[in-house]
Amino acid sequence: MEAQHLSAEDQKILSDLLETIKTQTDLFLGYPVAKDFNYQDLIDFLKYPMNNLGDPFVNSTYGVGSRELEKEVVQFFASLFRAPEDNWWGYVTNGGSEGNLYGLYLARELHPKGMVYYSEATHYSVQKNLHLLNMSNIVIRTQQNGEIDYDDLEHTIMMNRHMPVIIMANIGTTMTEARDDVAKIKAILKKLAIQHYYIHADAALSGTYSALIEPRPAFDFEDGADSIAISGHKFFGSPMPCGVVVAKKSNRDRIARSVAYIGSIDTTITGSRNGHSPLFLWHTIKRLGITGLKKRAMHSLETAAYAEQRLKALGIAAWRNTNAITVNFPAPPKVLCQKWQLAAEQGNSHLICMPNVTKAHIDLFITDLTAEMVMEG
């Protein structure tokens, strides 16, 4: 059969897009996406329709996938997040939002009459997920740093203590990367003698590296979480959005349904799932190991400390939460927000010092910022 090729016009569209992507990727400080990856080793896998449909731990009649590697990825995160030894399960998702949807779905099935509590700094996708699942919810105030207000949480739960409690804890909020303390939340539930509860940790950005630093933030299974979701394209880096959700297997067993058509059980949200994403995560885990991932975290924290110091030296009110890679400061002129792709909200902005960000990037940004300040001055 004669090979079909793109026209010269269509080829140019692709070439132009590639150049745009390259340029935009160079100047990229405002979003939590790692760009320092190289998956050339995996290029041949793109020739195949890899689909990990159904439960990764149950064989399917569809054999073109990466289930064995996906199981290793889930096991790695279960261990990292100190999940109960014989009571964990999970899968590779399309991203943090799906992981949060899964955690809330499990919570709703366990506690159909539960009330969901989450802070006003929670990612916008959570309200969408709650609407999809039709779950009752109450927004809790935040402290100045973006962390949940524990007094307001305690008072609000007390007012509704006849209902099961479902907590959506933020392990790194979108704007300030504040971490809610799961151990403190668990202590509040104990103090109020709440018998029926579920705690899900949205650890999209901070979860992976929070497990590698000292002092270790209180966010994982040992601290009281029932499920944890992370994003794979953030701290790890991936050419496509992906994530991992880890939950207690005993809870997941409550919702398992057998699907004869695929010869498996479907315990996931999407059914058909990307079989390529687990390859990227597995490749990074095997290539870097815990030691390499720790080094990656330390580099990001050092760069963040440097960025904070450089901004302060210009007289800018920059600040960070403890052991965070996000540096907060008043939003710079719009031209800089566009050039460096900086998110801004209510007059505030941030730099996120992902592993690919270096001191040289910070210096370039500071040079641009200084020039703008001189023009405005």
Reported as a single tens digit per residue, the pLDDT across 48-96 is 999 999 899 988 888 899 999 999 999 999 999 999 999 999 999 999 9
What domains are there in the chain, each with its CATH number?
A: 23-38+291-370 (3.90.1150.10), 43-285 (3.40.640.10)
Q: What is the pLDDT of residue 70?
A: 98
pLDDT tier at 364, thresholds 50, 70, 90: very high
* pTM of the model as a whole: 0.95
33-48: average pLDDT: 95
Q: What is the pLDDT of residue 3?
A: 55
11-28: average pLDDT: 92
Per-residue pLDDT for 267 more than 60? yes
156-178: average pLDDT: 96
Q: What is the pLDDT of residue 259?
A: 47
Per-residue pLDDT for 261 more than 80? no
Q: What is the pLDDT of residue 255?
A: 76
**Are the beta carbons of 328 and 145 closer than 8 angstroms?**
no
- For the segment 86-130, what is each residue's pLDDT rounded down to a tens digit? 999 999 999 999 999 999 999 999 999 999 999 999 988 899 999
pLDDT tier at 258, thresholds 50, 70, 90: very low
Work out whether the CA dihedral 204, 52, 268, 247 comes out positive or negative: negative
| Count of CA atoms in the C-beta half-sphere (13 A) of 3 | 3
Q: Cα–Cα distance between 148 and 181 in angstroms, integer?
A: 8
Q: What is the pLDDT of residue 24?
A: 86
Closest CA to 350 of 321, 373, 375: 321
Per-residue pLDDT for 264 more than 80? no
Burial 180-206 (b: 16+ CB within 10 A, else e): bbbebbbebbeeeebeebbbbbbbbbb
Question: Which of helix, strand or coil describes residue 239?
Answer: coil
Q: Cα–Cα distance between 147 and 321 in angstroms, integer?
A: 9
Per-residue pLDDT for 27 more than 90? no
Work out whether the CA dihedral 133, 232, 80, 323 comes out positive or negative: negative
Q: Phi, psi (5° rounding) for residue 49?
A: -80, 75
Question: Which of helix, strand or coil describes residue 258?
Answer: strand
